[in-house]
Chains A and B, each alone.
Chain A
Amino acid sequence: MAPQPMTDPWTLRMPAAMATTLRQHLFPGDGDEHGAVIGASVVATARGTRLLARRLYLAEDGVDYVPGQRGYRMLTATFVRDRVRDCRSQGLAYLAVHCHGGTTHVGFSGTDLASHERGYPALRDILGSTPAGGLVFATDAVAGDLWLPDGGRAELERAVITGWPIKTLYPEPPPPPTSDPTYDRQSRVFGDRGQAILAAQKVAVVGAGGAGSLIVEYLARLGVGELVIIDPDRVEETNLPRLAGARACDARTWLTDPARPGWLQSLGHRYATPKVRVARRVARQANGRIHVHALRADVTQSTIAANLVDCDYLFLAADSMQARLVVNALIHQYLIPGVQVGAKVQVGPGGVVTDVFSVVRPLAPGFGCLWCNGLISPARLQDEALTAEQLRQQRYVQDEAVHAPSVISLNAVASAHAVDDYLHTVTGLLPTGYEPRWRRFHPLVPTGPQRVRCDIPRAAADCTECSETGRLGQGHNAPLPTK
């Protein structure tokens, strides 16, 4: 992706665990001021510039955060120097943090701004290509003053905490949005503000098959403003029973009928409708105002994955390990929450169905990593990297003509739960203390409680994908595992 110029709006994204640590440091209950520095990756996109919090440096009271020379408190020059050097060496923006009283409104004082005027030009020079700036937090608000490498200056529009719920902080509450009568019934659940949040969202659906096509329809009908849909495949006749919005003509069934000559069948397969085009049609029928990017492509291609770095949420509904690897990396590296959905019918010898389940795995930056939970198989990654001919030679695969069983209702269970989680987390309806779980739905289990099984995902401290020593918050400072 060609580098974008840094443009408005400026937003900060922070993993929930880091936000909790910062909150406990700034607001320990003593009513006093406290300080810190955030080192943030800078990701400039067509939708504005995102600061991705990667490093948090807490200033120790009385050592790094001391009585001020011109104000009430100050970060010492030594602390500032060491942190700005760290940020420079890692290619991060430098954001000095302190707190004020209050809850939903916050702003810099004259003393704060005078200190910025005095000190930040030097910090900007030291950093070179990344901004320097200051943030001031109240308990439910944040304001930011950013000094840009080109000599300009910008305000932080908002900060997004990427947990459950996804929490957005502003300098002051945004003005109330206007009501849209189309959504009267559902906005009675989450309000006009919730509806406005959905309209402003850019959401990706990776995989437009049985699960992905349903997710697209649900998101479009909810009123999500912008969708990126990615899938390389075309519609086949066997897709029709479970592909939302697909018609027989999309599969070119009159050409692909086995009674037709081979060359005609081949022509039919070649000119069948791409799945993403069906998904776009469904989305537009559901919501005439939606903006759809339908990409008939593979998310593992670097140019395609680049379309997702400015999304607000990622739905992973593709089967391949490589797609899992890339989407998992995007979630942690670019601080974008997401979810993996799937349904599986396992068949044993003689075609006997041995297990049936649907699965929903919510993923947030720094929490719920597919890699450190063993859900990305290195062996399968290796297999997928081989050509079809190499695979045949190694006899790794079964007959390609034999498809795995699949049923729309199993996909619907997973898709509906995943979209429901998304809806409740972005509109702020989740209760305080909500604990996300990975859920598997087993319809064939005879007793009730075992039909829904909840897993608490683990997080490896040194995970290359989701830890602070790994991809977390790296943004463009690290390559994605794409082709």
Chain B
Amino acid sequence: MSSTVEQADAQTPGKGHSVTITVNNKAVEITGPRVTGLQIKEAAIAQGVQIDLDFQLSQELSSGETRIVGDADVVTVNKNSVFTAVAGDDNS
């Protein structure tokens, strides 16, 4: 699994081949291999994953660690890439 994250720069993410990643245990097809955090959430929402754009996105690494992926961060994904997206839990 790739573990590189960069800030969006001259390279335009989202141009390449289709890859199926996992977001909240749901399969999400996205054009990779380089995508932004925002693109991952947009693709997941478009394919029925029940999250909002302002949820916190994290990549689950093979080491067992997680890494937060910001909206503008670029991550290289492949078929083994796993993400979680959760909201904070507001209480009255």
Query: Of all chain A residues, which has the CB nearest B56?
Result: A77
The answer to whether B84 touches A96, judged by C-beta atoms less than 8 angstroms apart, is no
Number of A-B contacts (CB under 8 A): 92
Which of A80, A98, A122 neighbours the largest number of chain B CB atoms within 10 Å of its CB? A122
Q: Is B86's CB under 8 angstroms from A84's CB?
A: yes
Contact A111 B56 (CB under 8 A): no
Q: Which A-chain residue is minimally distant from B51 (CB atoms)?
A: A122
Q: Tell me if A210 is interfacial: C-beta within 8 Å of chain B.
A: no
> Is B52 at the interface (CB under 8 A from chain A)?
yes
A109 touches B87 (CB 8 A): no
> If A80-B86, A81-B58 touch, does A121 touch B68 (CB 8 Å cutoff)?
no
A33 to B45, CA, bound (A): 33
Point out the residue from A78, A109, A118, A125 that lies within 8 Å of B56, measured CB to CB: A78
Counting chain A CB atoms within 10 Å of each CB, the highest count among B24, B50, B68, B90 belongs to: B90
Alpha-carbon distance between A122 and B28 when the two chains are bound, in angstroms: 14
Asked if A118 and B86 make an inter-chain contact with CB atoms under 8 angstroms apart, the answer reads: no
Instruction: Enumerate chain B residues within 8 angstroms of A169, measured Cβ to Cβ.
Output: none
Give the residues from 101 to 148 in chain A that come closer than 8 angstroms, CB to CB, to chain B. 109-112, 114-115, 118-119, 121-123, 125-126, 128, 134, 136
- How does the 8 Å CB contact mask read for B50-76 relative to A, with 1 for contact and 0 for none? 111001101010000010100000000
Closest Cβ neighbor of A108 among chain B residues: B92
The reply to whether the CB of B4 lies closer than 8 angstroms to some CB of chain A is no
Given A77-B56, A78-B68, A80-B86, is A126 in contact with B24 using a C-beta cutoff of 8 Å? yes
Q: How distant is B61 from chain A, measured CB to nearest CB, in Å?
A: 12
Query: What residues of A have a CB within 8 angstroms of the CB of B25 in the complex?
Result: 125-126, 128
B85 interfacial by beta-carbon distance below 8 Å? yes
A81 x B86 contact (CB < 8 A): yes
Please tell me if A434 contacts chain B, counting CB pairs below 8 Å. no
By a CB distance below 8 angstroms, the chain B residues around A111 are: 90-92
How many Å lie between the Cα of A68 and that of B88 in the bound state?
A: 8
Question: Nearest chain A CB to B86's CB is how many angstroms away?
Answer: 5
**Count of chain B residues with a beta carbon within 8 Å of a chain A beta carbon:** 22
Q: Which of B21-63 contact A (CB under 8 A)?
A: 24-26, 49-52, 55-56, 58, 60
B89 interface residue per 8 A CB criterion = yes
Does B49 lie within 8 Å of A68, measured CB to CB? no
Looking at the assembled complex, report how far the CB atom of B23 sits from the nearest CB atom of chain A, in whole angstroms. 8
Interface string of A69-88 (1 = CB under 8 A from B): 11111111110111011000
A35 contacts chain B at the CB level, 8 A cutoff: yes
- What is the minimal beta-carbon distance from A70 to any residue of chain B, in angstroms? 4
The chain B residue sitting closest to A81, CB to CB, is B86
Q: Do A80 and B66 touch across chains, with their CB atoms under 8 A apart?
A: no
1/0 per position for A284-328, CB-CB distance to B under 8 A?
A: 000000000000000000000000000000000000000000000
Question: In the assembled complex, which residues on chain A have CB atoms less than 8 Å from the CB atom of B91?
Answer: 33, 35, 68, 71-75, 98, 109, 111-112, 115, 136
Chain B neighbourhood of A109, CB < 8 A = 91-92
Smallest CB–CB gap between B67 and chain A, Å? 11
CA–CA, A81 to B66, complex, Å?
A: 9
Say yes or no: A77-B92 contact (C-beta < 8 A), given A118-B52, A125-B24: no
Residue of B nearest to A124 (CB): B50
Least Cβ distance of B81 to chain A in Å?
A: 15
A119 CB contact (under 8 Å) in B49, B66, B87, B92: B87
From A80, A98, A114, B88 is in contact (CB under 8 Å) with: A80
CA distance A33 to B55 in the complex (A): 23
- Count chain A CB atoms within 10 A of each CB in B49, B51, B84 and give the residue with the most: B84
A121 touches B92 (CB 8 A): no
Q: Which of B58, B84, B85, B87 is most buried by chain A, counting CB atoms within 10 A of its CB?
A: B87
Q: Are A80 and B87 in contact (CB under 8 A)?
A: yes
Q: Tell me the complex Cα distance, A7–B85, Å.
A: 28
* Contact of A85 with B84 in the complex, beta carbons under 8 Å: yes
Residues from chain A with a CB closer than 8 A to the CB of B92 are 71-72, 100, 109-112
Bound-state Cα–Cα, A81 to B85, Å: 8
- 1/0 per residue, CB under 8 A from B, across A339-363: the answer is 0000000000000000000000000
Cβ distance A137 to chain B, nearest Cβ, rounded Å: 11
The answer to whether A123 and B86 touch across the interface, beta carbons within 8 angstroms, is yes
- In the bound assembly, the distance between CA atoms of A78 and B60 in angstroms comes to 13
CB atoms of A71 and B90 under 8 A apart: yes
Point out the residue from B58, B60, B87 that lies within 8 Å of A118, measured CB to CB: B87
Knowing A74-B88, A115-B91, say if A122 contacts B50 (CB, 8 Å): yes
Contacts of A98 in B (CB 8 A): 91
Contact partners of B84 in chain A: CB under 8 A? 81, 84-85, 126
Q: Given A77-B56, A81-B56, A85-B84, are A122 and B24 also a contact pair (CB < 8 Å)?
A: yes
Q: How far is the CB of A318 from chain B (nearest CB, A)?
A: 44
* Bound-complex Cα distance A71 to B52 (A): 17
Q: Complex: how many Å from CA A123 to CA B86?
A: 7
Seen from chain B, the residues whose Cβ lies within 8 Å of a Cβ on chain A are: 24-26, 49-52, 55-56, 58, 60, 66, 68, 84-92
**13 pairs, CB–CB < 8 Å, chain A vs chain B:** A69-B90, A70-B90, A71-B90, A74-B88, A75-B91, A84-B84, A110-B92, A111-B90, A114-B90, A115-B89, A115-B90, A125-B50, A126-B25
Q: Which residues of A contact B (CB under 8 A)?
A: 33, 35, 68-78, 80-82, 84-85, 96, 98, 100, 109-112, 114-115, 118-119, 121-123, 125-126, 128, 134, 136
